[in-house]
Amino acid sequence: MKIVLKTLILLLILSCSNKQSSETKESAIKIDTISYSYHGFNHHRKLDLLSNKEFIRFESVASCFGDARIEKHFGKYTMTDSTLQLNPNKVELIVYSSFPEEKDRKEILEYGADSLKINTDYQIFEWKNKEYLLSKDYDSLRTYDFRNDYQQFAYYYNIGEEPNDSGNYLTRTKKDTTVNIVWNINKIPKEYRNDFLKVPISVKIIDRKKKVEKDEYEPEYEIVSWRIKINKGTDDGIKKGLHFTTKDDEFFIDIDSTQNKVSFGECYIYNMEEQFFRIGTEMRTKWEK
């Protein structure tokens, strides 16, 4: 009798286990997820769109000293073929401190505080087998670069990194590798179309000035940087923010000042050898690989 009873109990457990496993599988099918992400140095962003019309937005930023900040936004979303709108309602905030005397913090808050607000309106842009979420606003925890998604997208497009590598904006690669959507600049808002170069720009260095400064951390040492002048300006389509490199990729500048016929930029890698950027050296926004 005991053997029969044990057998019945075992069958009941297995039955419940199979039922739970079946329910879990069914739930996984119903709550399927589309994910967009960005991965940088100590900086990660991810947006999960669940099939039940809920979203989870994750962003983390950390320093090399051990402190970190993590934000998770939750809410509902609406999506069309070309747009995405998020409607956040809750935020989970986690702060880790690198100082032993400070306690880590974890809070769950109602959405609404200015410091926790995020972009809620995105355009869905497609190119090749990649999908981009692009917004006119800026909301990253990384605050040193105030260019919005379109401006950063143009930067990576102009230097030839896209579509293989992307900047600080959300993307996903479609699983179907046969998808190959052609580039269509008309899908980009009019105010940003001129930021995308039709052809690479070639310039030459016509002047350079050495800048010598004391090392902030080791005052007994000097650090050397260079102010570069190039032979083209706004009349030639040069804009602030354009990135130029030499053919050997040893030297580069970002344009920070423009005039009609000339422009200026600096390289922030110190103590470089002068042979890489002599007067007359050609630089381009993109070199053919």
- The secondary structure of 246-271, three-state, reads CCCCCCEEEEEEECCCCEEEEECCCC
3-class DSSP state of 154: helix
> 154-188: per-residue pLDDT in tens?
999 999 999 999 999 999 998 887 789 999 999 99
Residue 51 has pLDDT above 50, yes or no: yes
Quick check: 16 and 31 in contact, CB under 8 A? no
Give the H or E element holding residue 286.
none
Q: What angle do CA 249, 252, 253 make, to 5 degrees?
A: 165
Q: Burial code of 261-278, b = ≥16 C-beta within 10 A, e = fewer?
A: ebbbbbbeeeeeeeeebe
Residue 136 is predicted with a pLDDT of 92
Residue with the bigger pLDDT between 69 and 222: it is: 69
Query: 118 with 236, same domain?
Result: no
Give the H or E element holding residue 143.
none
Task: Examine residue 145 and state whether it is found in any structural domain, yes or no.
Answer: yes
Task: Examine residue 50 and state whether it is found in any structural domain, yes or no.
Answer: yes
What is the residue-averaged pLDDT of the chain?
A: 86
pTM for this predicted structure? 0.82
Domain boundary among 193, 224, 258: 193
Query: 164 with 69, same domain?
Result: yes
Average pLDDT for 210-232: 87
Query: 235 with 180, same domain?
Result: no
Quick check: 150 and 195 in contact, CB under 8 A? yes
Query: 226 with 189, same domain?
Result: no
Residue with the bigger pLDDT between 243 and 112: it is: 243
CA distance 162 to 110: 37
- The total domain count for the chain is 2
Quick check: 122 and 132 in contact, CB under 8 A? no
Q: Which two tokens mark 189?
A: 């808002």
Burial class (CB in 10 A: 0-12, 13-18, 19+), 198: exposed
CA distance 149 to 144: 14
Quick check: 261 and 281 in contact, CB under 8 A? no
Query: 209 with 145, same domain?
Result: no
Query: 214 with 171, same domain?
Result: no
Quick check: 276 and 246 in contact, CB under 8 A? yes
Residue 13 is predicted with a pLDDT of 38
> 237-270: per-residue pLDDT in tens?
999 999 999 999 989 999 999 999 999 998 877 6
The DSSP letter of residue 144 is: S
Determine what percent of the chain is predicted with pLDDT higher than 70.
87
Taking alpha carbons only, the member of 196, 197, 203 closest to residue 284 is 203
Query: 58 with 174, same domain?
Result: yes
In the block, tokens 């959507």 appear at: 181
Query: 39 with 130, same domain?
Result: yes
Domain boundary among 172, 193, 214: 193
Confidence of residue 98 (pLDDT cuts 50, 70, 90): confident
Q: How many residues does the chain have?
A: 289
**Full domain range(s) for residue 218:** 202-284
Quick check: 218 and 208 in contact, CB under 8 A? no
Q: Indicate which CATH number applies to the domain containing 250.
A: 2.40.10
Residue 21 has pLDDT above 60, yes or no: no
Strands (E) in the chain, as ranges, are 33-40, 43-50, 54-62, 68-79, 83-96, 105-110, 121-127, 130-134, 170-173, 202-214, 222-230, 243-245, 252-258, 263-267, 282-284
- In sequence order, the 6+-apart residues with CB closer than 8 A to the CB of 33 are 48, 49, 50, 51
